[in-house]
Amino acid sequence: MSLFLIILAAGDSKRLKSNTPKPFHIVNNMTLLEHSFNAFKDFDEIKKTIIVYNKKHKKHLDKLNLKNTLKVMGGKTRQESTFKALKRIKKMNCKKILIHDSARSAPSKDLINKIIYNLKKNHAVIPVIKINDATKRVKKNTIFKNIDRSSLRFSQTPQGFTYKKIYEKHIKNINTSFEDDSALFTKDEEKVVTITGSKKNLKITDKEDLNIFKSLKKGKTYSGIGFDIHRLVKGRKLYLGGIKIPFALGLLGHSDADPVLHALIDSLLGACKLGDIGKLFSNKNKKYKNIRSTILLKKVIELIQSKNFSINNIDINVITQKPKIKKYAKKMIDTISKICEINPNQINIKGKTTEKLGLIGKEKAIASEVIASVMKYD
């Protein structure tokens, strides 16, 4: 099954009444759009993800690292935005499609699995939840009718469809406007299979919804500490914090001997209870000989992300008599932030000396100690 995913993030966010567009509100160091995107990232069945964006929000989107995505500028309505995405992938051999609102940033893996499973034998599958409250029809703040809620349901996303079918429906209804894509099927009295949705899969419309989502996404915080030291020698390049430092001496080690990144790796692994750098990248393994530590850090970031950890902040001490690192700190922070996929303001770097004491004080070694804080999400 060739399955694609469309994430709709092209709304104007007026009801949220915020200067920040809704998809780019940050909760636990991630935007709402990233929360939605990450909900689907472990599904190998999804071959391509299409992000539909509002042209006014392009600068916000460009700041995000949404890997292997196709970006399509949205239209004036939800339906037009969806159609533009469907049209963009017409020649890409898509057989089945999931359509999801970025405003629903907490679809569970179980819910997504059920949609995909039921989509194998059906043309349209959507999640719904029962209405438990007494339901009234109101006009001018006055109830004028009680409504039997027994057959009523709230619909949610992601909604799944056979690509050919939903594309044809959009072509047929190109000048109309429906609230969701399943309505195009029910309009023609075609079967739409429903599965049980989740109250946690709420749609974020206003600030109250946003606060509820924040309470749902509270995770547990963990901290880790890392330390590393290497001897300065002739004939080696000096790498600190992922960048090359012009200096007469370099650091001796199996890899590029970057003590800042090595200490950072150990602090992250410690916080996530995933061992240490020696366990993952043994100095007895020839493939790590002279390897850049930026590559090792990237592998560690991929590992902790796969375990649902997110970095809160990183505090780094670079302990060296010479060279002084003040003028290199910003470049180090920028390099580390890109690899860790976090904002530079989540990283702090301080230069320290040992007042000419010990190997470091005699300019024979450089060390680093790092404390990292991470958050684990369910």
Q: Which CATH number describes the domain made up of 3-216?
A: 3.90.550.10
Mean pLDDT across 190-197: 95
* Beta bridge pairs of residue 370: 226, 316
The predicted-structure confidence for 67-119, as pLDDT tens digits, reads as follows 889 999 999 999 999 999 999 999 999 999 999 999 999 899 999 999 999 99
Position 13 pLDDT exceeds 80:
no
Residue type, 326: K
Better-scored residue on pLDDT, 241 or 144: 241
pLDDT score recorded for residue 261: 97
Position 235 pLDDT exceeds 90:
yes
Mean pLDDT across 328-347: 91
The ranges assigned to domains in the chain are 3-216, 220-376
The predicted-structure confidence for 117-134, as pLDDT tens digits, reads as follows 999 999 999 999 999 888
Mean pLDDT across 29-53: 92
> What distance lies between CA 266 and its chain's CA centroid?
23
pLDDT score recorded for residue 276: 94
pLDDT score recorded for residue 9: 95
Position 190 pLDDT exceeds 80:
yes
Task: Kindly state the tokens that stand for 32.
Answer: 């709402």
d(CA 71, CA 66): 10
With beta carbons less than 8 A apart as the criterion, state whether 50 and 88 touch: yes
Nearest one of 52, 363, 353, 76 to 231, comparing CA atoms: 363
Q: What's the CATH number of domain 220-376, 3.30.1330.50, 1.20.950.20, 3.40.50.740, 3.40.50.1970?
A: 3.30.1330.50
Element (H, E) at 96: strand 96-101
Q: Provide the pairing of β-strand 153-155 with 238-240.
A: unpaired
Task: Kindly state the tokens that stand for 69.
Answer: 């995505």
Q: Provide the pairing of β-strand 193-196 with 159-162.
A: unpaired
d(CA 71, CA 63): 13
Position 377 pLDDT exceeds 70:
no
What is the phi-psi region of residue 257: left when phi exceeds 0, alpha when psi lies from -120 to 50, beta otherwise?
A: left
Q: Is pTM, for the whole model, over 0.85?
A: no
d(CA 370, CA 315): 6
With beta carbons less than 8 A apart as the criterion, state whether 283 and 254 touch: yes
